[in-house]
């Protein structure tokens, strides 16, 4: 009902499985982010009145307000689960919003090969890593496609028949049916660190964390190092190597490691993480720029065997 009320232009983009994001800029232009193509100006526009009408519709559906006194809105679209972030004047010149769609289709590694996101060689590396129960970090910038790519890895994992526990702050990952236990954090009730500790008592074969952001990195590394191989997680980073240093920094926020020497910290990371997939967003769509295998430490330095793509 809400999607219909948003209008035909917007509805068409929201129902297109190849589109991940729909964006309204203050100038009224509608942009979309399409898998394999990147961000595109659709050539369609919305008037300020239509933009504000849509924002108010979403706010009303959430029993919230969005107006000049309350010009910010963060919501989840009923039914689709898409994330909706909007601003009204005086924060912006004219109404603007960004809709981040939840995947309605799981794109496979084969799909990513056909779209040019990965090469055939990279596909083979990833399939072997999943079959060998290697732990994989998917790293990249904001909207680089980390979640969509992780969905493809989960589809590969689903074929293995293992018990999978998936932990997220908000429900974004899509996974195949089977022996799967999804859990979500809740402010004031259960943090990601809490869920990771609880997960160890739920007989998981593999542990997946939608995104690691802070001190829970310690619990994740410990879980992967204590008999639960074959997991996946994502994090924000600028390269495969940077992902490892980001993990270190997040682990240091945990009171459990404040006194650890650098060699012990890096040793824990090197034992737990086997592959880092670095994905980027380009003018022509998403690309996996590098798959790096972590071969332990030499002294205090990580040893990365990289498979970069020009």
- pLDDT on residue 76: 85
Last residue of a domain, one of 73, 100, 127: 100
Low-confidence ranges of the chain (pLDDT < 70): 1-6, 36, 103-104, 309-310
Pairing of the two strands 180-184 and 206-209: unpaired
- pLDDT on residue 309: 66
- pLDDT on residue 15: 87
pTM for this model (two decimals): 0.80
Last residue of a domain, one of 68, 100, 132: 100
* Cα maximum dimension of the chain: 62
Burial class for 86, CB neighbours closer than 10 Å (0-12, 13-18, 19+): buried
94 with 142, same domain: the answer is no
- pLDDT on residue 108: 93
Q: Which of 277, 18, 15 is nearest to 144 (CA)?
A: 277
**β-bridge partners, 181:** 165
- pLDDT on residue 170: 84
Q: Which of 211, 209, 176, 214 is nearest to 195 (CA)?
A: 209
137 with 248, same domain: the answer is yes
The structural domain count of the chain equals 2
Range of the domain at 184: 109-308
């Amino acid at each position: 009902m809400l999607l219909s009320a948003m209008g035909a232009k917007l509805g068409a983009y929201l129902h297109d499985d190849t589109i991940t994001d729909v964006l309204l800029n203050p100038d009224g232009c509608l942009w979309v982010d399409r898998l394999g193509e990147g961000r595109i100006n659709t050539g369609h526009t919305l008037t300020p009145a239509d933009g504000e009408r849509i924002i108010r519709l979403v706010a009303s559906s959430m029993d919230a307000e969005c107006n000049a006194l309350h010009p910010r809105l963060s919501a989840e679209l009923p039914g689709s689960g898409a994330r909706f972030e909007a601003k009204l004047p005086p924060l912006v010149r004219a109404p603007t919003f960004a809709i981040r769609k939840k995947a309605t289709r799981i794109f496979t590694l084969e799909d990513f090969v056909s779209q040019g996101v990965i090469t055939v060689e990279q596909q083979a590396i990833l399939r072997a890593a999943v079959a060998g129960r290697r732990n994989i970090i998917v790293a990249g910038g904001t909207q680089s496609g980390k979640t969509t790519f992780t969905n493809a890895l989960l589809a590969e994992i689903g074929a293995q028949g293992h018990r999978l526990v998936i932990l997220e702050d908000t429900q974004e990952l899509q996974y195949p049916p089977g022996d799967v236990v999804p859990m979500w954090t809740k402010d004031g009730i259960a943090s990601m660190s809490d869920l990771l500790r609880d997960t160890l008592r739920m007989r998981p074969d593999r542990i997946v964390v939608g995104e690691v952001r802070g001190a829970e990195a310690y619990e994740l590394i410990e879980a992967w190092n204590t008999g639960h191989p074959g997991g996946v997680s994502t994090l924000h980073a600028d390269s495969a190597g940077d992902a490892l240093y980001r993990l270190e920094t997040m682990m240091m926020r945990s009171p459990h490691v404040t006194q650890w020497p650098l060699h012990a910290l890096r040793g824990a990371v090197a034992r737990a993480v086997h592959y880092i997939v670095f994905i980027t967003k380009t003018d022509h769509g998403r690309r996996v720029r590098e798959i790096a295998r972590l071969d332990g430490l030499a002294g205090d330095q990580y040893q990365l065997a990289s498979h970069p793509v020009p």
